[in-house]
Amino acid sequence: MDKMSSGQTVTLGCTDNQQCSVTPGAAGSLVGRGVNRRQQSQCHECCSMDKCNKNLCSHLTPGTCIDDVKVDCAYLNTFFNICQDIHHAKLVCPKFCKLCSLVDGNWARWSPWSPCDVTCENGTQTRKRTCTDPVPAHGGLDCIGSNISTKSCSKELCPVHGGWTKWSNWDACSVTCGVGIERRHRNCSNPIPDRNGLQCFGDTLDDRICLPGPCANGGWTDWGQWSTCSVTCGDGLKSRSRTCTNPSPSPHGKYCDGNPFEDVVCTKSSCSPNIVFKAKNVTNKNPGIGGTVIFGSTFVNEGDAYNTSTGIFTAPVNGTYSFSVQICAQNQKEVRVAIIIDGTTYATLYIYDYYSYPCNSADTFAVLHAQSKVSIECLRGCSGGKIYDASDRMDSFSGYLVHQ
């Protein structure tokens, strides 16, 4: 049935008589509706005749906070616990049930639509609302429905960025032996760039080294010339070499078998003997002019070339020799001697001092043949014991082989 309420027409629907009963499971209920459920704006009644229960929807909109004068709230609560159904009680017995401060929530206005969430092709726009007009308070109902609303939006078509295809199989090697190159390809067509899309980054070609097999094994060159002997005297080594370049082995080719070097023993003339001497202690202090000054003992006499009996050094081998002599004289005595080699004077020395026992020395180098004779001979003033010899002023004659 239709009812005018506050200038509006309210349509009241009728429920089939078969459904008219007390709502089961509720603490209390009215006929055709449960007291624990919220009354909807479109309410229903159990109708067996027209215009039945005219007042069923008369309390849809709350008025001032007073109880309905036609309802005994205390009496009704004893039977149906009306205060437990807050949202029915607020329409009938708000003051009795202390519901005067209850506020049901209501949606505020929708916000503006957001920008489309994509820059190209199809996307979504959203808008929001809040349950703040008013905000639910003191047990009031929250707003019914969603706080977000969406709708589709369309932009221009997106750019298509290029993508590489898979690499092709490797091409055949560029050579049949040795070292070559093989290549593979790919294209920027997966997909092809479109609508200002980016090109593919990278190379369309890929190369790698291939080694199908050796072209040649290595071969030795002829032996080179023998090197000079590693020593100038005695036993040494000499060597010769060859290289594996006739031909050089190709990649994967076999290297030459054998040794690239060959050594053999070489023999030079015997090395210079160790010939050195140093003699001391003049035994004939009165040799006379042309006489040989004899040194009777030696510190060293390698090669036994100096004769302490004759005072003569005899060269055992050809070579270059070095000799030196030191003679001391009595004070105020004059002595002159020389180094004589095979009758030839090579060096002389002169000694004289008025107040002391002076000493002087002489030395020389000489190239000698084997059996050459070397001695110290008196040239002047050697007679009469003028040669002086003591531990602090030692007379000596020495020499050695420098080299052959």
The domains of the chain are located at 2-92, 103-158, 163-213, 217-270, 276-403
If pLDDT is split at 50, 70 and 90, which confidence band does 294 have?
very high
pLDDT of residue 370: 93
pLDDT of residue 252: 79
* Domain at 276-403, CATH class: mainly beta
Is the pLDDT at 22 greater than 70, yes or no? no
For residue 150, the model assigns a pLDDT of 95
Domains 103-158 and 163-213 share a fold: yes
Task: For the chain, give the percent of residues with pLDDT over 90.
Answer: 49
The pLDDT of residue 261: 92
Give residue 131's pLDDT band: very low, low, confident or very high (50, 70, 90): very high
CB 95 within 8 A of CB 62: no
Confidence of residue 404 (pLDDT cuts 50, 70, 90): confident
End-to-end Cα spacing for the chain: 152
pLDDT at 314 over 90: yes
Mean pLDDT of 226-236: 85
In the chain, % of residues over pLDDT 70: 84
Q: How confident is the model at residue 35 (pLDDT cuts 50, 70, 90)?
A: very low
| Structure-block tokens of residue 326 | 């030191």
Asked whether residue 39 carries a pLDDT value surpassing 50, the answer given is: no
- Does residue 220 carry a pLDDT above 90? yes
**What CATH fold (topology level) applies to the domain 217-270?**
TSP-1 type 1 repeat (2.20.100)
Q: What's the pLDDT at 56?
A: 52
357 versus 30: the higher-pLDDT residue is 357
Distance from C-alpha of 357 to C-alpha of 394, rounded to nearest angstrom: 11
Q: Is the pLDDT of residue 60 over 60?
A: no
Domain 103-158 belongs to what topology? Answer: TSP-1 type 1 repeat (2.20.100)
d(C-alpha 349, C-alpha 230), whole Å: 44
Do 285 and 348 meet the contact criterion of CB atoms below 8 Å apart?
no
Task: List, for residues 172-217, the tens digit of each pLDDT value.
Answer: 999 988 889 999 999 999 999 998 889 999 999 999 999 888 888 8
Alpha carbon distance 307, 168 (integer Å): 100
* pLDDT score recorded for residue 267: 84
33 pLDDT tier (thresholds 50, 70, 90): very low
What are the tens digits of pLDDT across the range 270-287? 777 889 999 999 998 788
- Is residue 96 predicted with pLDDT exceeding 80? yes
The residue to which tokens 């160790």 are assigned:
274
The sign of the dihedral angle between the CA atoms of 56, 62, 67, 69 is negative
Q: What is the 8-class DSSP label of residue 211?
A: E
Q: Which long-range contacts (CB under 8 A, 24 or more apart) does 51-57 make?
A: 51/1, 54/1, 54/3, 56/12, 56/32, 57/3, 57/5, 57/10, 57/12
pLDDT of residue 53: 54
SS (H, E, C) 56-116: CCCCCCCCCCCCCCCCCHHHHHHHHCHHHCHHHHHHHCCCCCCCCCCECCCCCCCCCCCCC
Q: Quick check: bond before 191 cis, omega within 30? A: yes
Q: Where residue 14 falls among pLDDT bands split at 50, 70, 90?
A: low
CA-based max dimension of the chain: 188
Residue of 113, 133, 110, 131 lying closest to 123 (CA atoms): 113
Cβ neighbours around 345 below 10 Å, total? 12
* pLDDT at residue 392, rounded to an integer: 83
Q: What is the mean pLDDT of the chain?
A: 83
CATH superfamily membership of 163-213: Thrombospondin type-1 (TSP1) repeat (2.20.100.10)
CA–CA distances in Å: residue 188 to residues 181, 185, 195, 273: 23, 10, 15, 88
C-alpha span between 201 and 398 (Å, rounded): 92
pLDDT at 122: 93
